[in-house]
Amino acid sequence: MDNTSETSENTYVVYNANVYTVDYDNKQRADAFVVRDGMFLDVGTKDEIMDKWKLVDKRIDAGGKTILPGIIDAHVVSITTSREPNRSKASEARSRIKAYILSHKDNLNESSWIRGFGWDQMHWESKEFPHWKDLSDLGTPFTCYMLLTRIDGHVIWTNEKVLKILSDMPECIEGGEIVRDKETNEMTGIFVDNAMDFVVRKAPTLSETEKLTHVRSAISHMHSVGLTGVHDASVPLDDISFFKDVVARSPDDFNIRSYVMVESPQINEYCGDKVEMIIGYGEGRLTVRSVKLFMDGALGSWGAAMLEPYSDDPTKTGLLLSNPDNLPSVIQKWVSKGFQVNTHCIGDRANKIILDAYEKVFKTLALKCKPSADDVSDEILEKETRRIGEKLRFRIEHAQILTLDDIQRAAKLGIIPSMQPTHATSDMSYAEERIGKERIKGAYAWRSFLDAGVTAFPLSSDFPVEAANPFLGFYAAITRKWTDGNSPHGKQGWFPEQALTREEALRGFTIDAAYAGFAEDMLGSISKGKYADFVVIDRDIMEIPEKDIIDTRVIATVFGGSVVYGEL
């Protein structure tokens, strides 16, 4: 169809806009574009577009507002949750639970389970884990079972009623911690990492109706902050089938581009024989071609696996969640399946272990590519290993604390560090005390990764661990400050030499995130032939004072050419 007959409702021109295309092969700035049937058809200047497409009936004057590509969050915990982080104190948790029970008493009873999320003892005066006793005697008509998950998702706090059904709980669990009273050895109601699984299995699973309610709520919230794509980490097999069914039955309930990371039923075990590879199902809504492995816990719960003891608690070195010796064979099976491998790593020991495993797999594959492996020089092997790494695009999720040598090694191997800017600003009040002045040099080291030459640097929120709002992540990435403009190092920011530029931060939430999900040909920039996903905002985040970025408001979010939030 030529442009002289463009009268379709599915075709429209947006003009008089301040467009950041993030298209590094063409124009990085534009002020007009054309959308047809949910795809970008043309991008350019107002004069070019208005003249070339002068017979298109539907024209939208953007009034000079800033337009960005649809924002992609490269790591969320699950879109089957609609929770936002809430760093409640123990006393506040008591009050919230009591209020919830009283307001829902007609739908609750003594068999009901209450799930909560978002407490963080590092923001409490004591800095100590809470106790089941803190959840006792709420003054309610009845007592429910309670599972309250820490902000990082690596600790569960339960009440006495849950403890009473844990009579079969073992004394200890490999890769986890059952926190016990030092004097009585009784369980305190705190379960860390692998110990959580034993408790969670006692609770009923969500119904499909409950899941759909959460999915709708989560996606609606994501649209309100400009997100059109997410990399959904740790998705159980049942949820993948559920997602596919939702897309097939009611695609408008799933107006998000979800790049799924499969979570194995047993941690770090191969389950590829039970997984279907899915690429761009439902006009790009669902892709399943990666797996999520887990190496350690989290820094806030002393679960991050460290090479040396914690500086603030020399009795701890963190937790390894599975046997590292099994990793290369499991990873190789996923490679044979055609899946990308993404591994949760926080501590420097965890990162070293996974880099060792990745490197072993890459070198094995590199040698297989050479007809005479015995004659391969170190230089050729290194280049071939890097080529394999860049082809497979393996990721380290969080890549939070590494030795300086391992940062260089990650880049050399073509590994993609998938990082969350707001983790740094949430943790910076205690991180240096926790791991010491030397190790902190390799922590949240964004600039060090870029200087080492990583192929992409995707950014994310880890929602619901942090708020889904990407503009808070953008602000944290370029300032390394709290939203009040301060930091542990003052108003210059926390280790400001590690901050990103605005262009790098925008890339991280758009084209680099798309690349990390093998989708750069269809997502991540306002370019001809890509899905027409874009967001209109009320200010130019690339130019305004940094303090004004945190108040950025989304005017419209457009998914596949259709407005899913606000007005265009």
Amino acid identity, residue 484? Answer: D
User: Rounded to whole angstroms, how far apart are CA atoms 69 and 431?
Assistant: 34
CA distance 144 to 142: 7
Go through the domains of the chain in sequence order and give each one's CATH number: 3-69+548-566 (2.30.40.10), 90-200 (3.10.310), 208-547 (3.20.20.140)
DSSP letter, residue 415: P
Instruction: State what percent of residues in the chain have pLDDT above 90.
Output: 76
Q: Helix, strand, or coil here: 11? A: strand
- 10-24, 195-209, 461-475, 506-520: least confident range: 195-209
Provide the pLDDT for residue 1.
Answer: 44
Q: How would residue 5 be classed by pLDDT, with cut points 50, 70 and 90?
A: low
CB atoms within 10 A of CB 237: 15
pLDDT at position 291 over 60: yes
Q: State the pTM of this model.
A: 0.89
Residue 420 CA to residue 398 CA, distance in Å, equals 7
Mean pLDDT to the nearest integer, 200-223: 91
Residue 535: exposure state from Cβ atoms within 10 A (0-12, 13-18, ≥19):
buried
Give me the mean pLDDT over the 183-207 stretch.
89
112 is written with which tokens? Answer: 């009901």
Closest by CA to 162, choosing from 200, 134, 197, 211, is 200
pLDDT at 212 over 80: yes
Q: What is the mean pLDDT of the chain?
A: 93
Quote the CA–CA distance of 61 and 54 in Å, as a whole number: 14
Which range, 132-141, 299-308, 370-379, is most confident? 299-308
Of residues 456 and 146, more confidently modeled: 456
pLDDT tens-digit series, residues 489-517: 999 999 999 999 999 999 999 999 999 99
The pLDDT tens digits of the residues spanning 50-104 come to 999 999 999 999 999 999 999 999 999 888 765 655 666 777 888 888 888 888 8
> Quick one: pLDDT at residue 370?
66
Which two tokens mark 556?
Answer: 């419209």
Q: State the pLDDT confidence band at 120, using cuts at 50, 70 and 90.
A: confident
What pLDDT sits at residue 262?
97
Most confident of 71-80, 123-132, 378-387, 556-565: 556-565
**Cα 217 vs. chain centroid, distance in angstroms?**
18
pLDDT of residue 542: 98
Of 169, 172, 174, nearest to 200 by C-alpha is 169
Per the DSSP assignment, residues forming a β-bridge with 536 are: 67, 556
Q: Cα–Cα distance between 135 and 156 in angstroms, integer?
A: 13
pLDDT surpasses 50 at 552: yes
Residue 430: per-residue pLDDT: 95
Beta strand pairing call for 155-158 and 176-180? unpaired
Question: What are 520-538's pLDDT values in tens digits?
Answer: 999 999 999 999 999 999 9
Crossing angle of helices 348-368 and 404-412, in 10° steps, is 30
Q: Is the pLDDT of residue 4 over 50?
A: no
In the predicted model, is pLDDT for residue 17 greater than 90?
yes
503 contact partners, CB below 8 Å, separation of at least 6:
542
The single residue listed with the structure tokens 């980490």 is 233
pLDDT value of residue 84: 59
What pLDDT band is residue 398 in, cutting at 50, 70 and 90? very high
Confidence category of residue 349, pLDDT binned at 50, 70, 90: very high
* The pLDDT value given to residue 88: 63
Tally the residues of the chain.
568
Strand partners, 193: 176
pLDDT of 7 over the 80 cut: no
Confidence class of residue 206 from pLDDT cuts 50, 70 and 90?
confident
Measured CA to CA, the distance from residue 378 to residue 351 in angstroms comes to: 24
| Mean pLDDT across 378-389 | 91
pLDDT per residue as tens digits for the range 312-329:
999 999 999 999 999 999
Give the whole-angstrom CA distance, residue 231 versus residue 290.
10
Please tell me the predicted confidence (pLDDT) of residue 99.
87
Query: What's the mean pLDDT in 15-39?
Result: 96
DSSP for 342-385, written as a single string: EEEE-SHHHHHHHHHHHHHHHHHHHHHTSS-GGG--HHHHHHHH
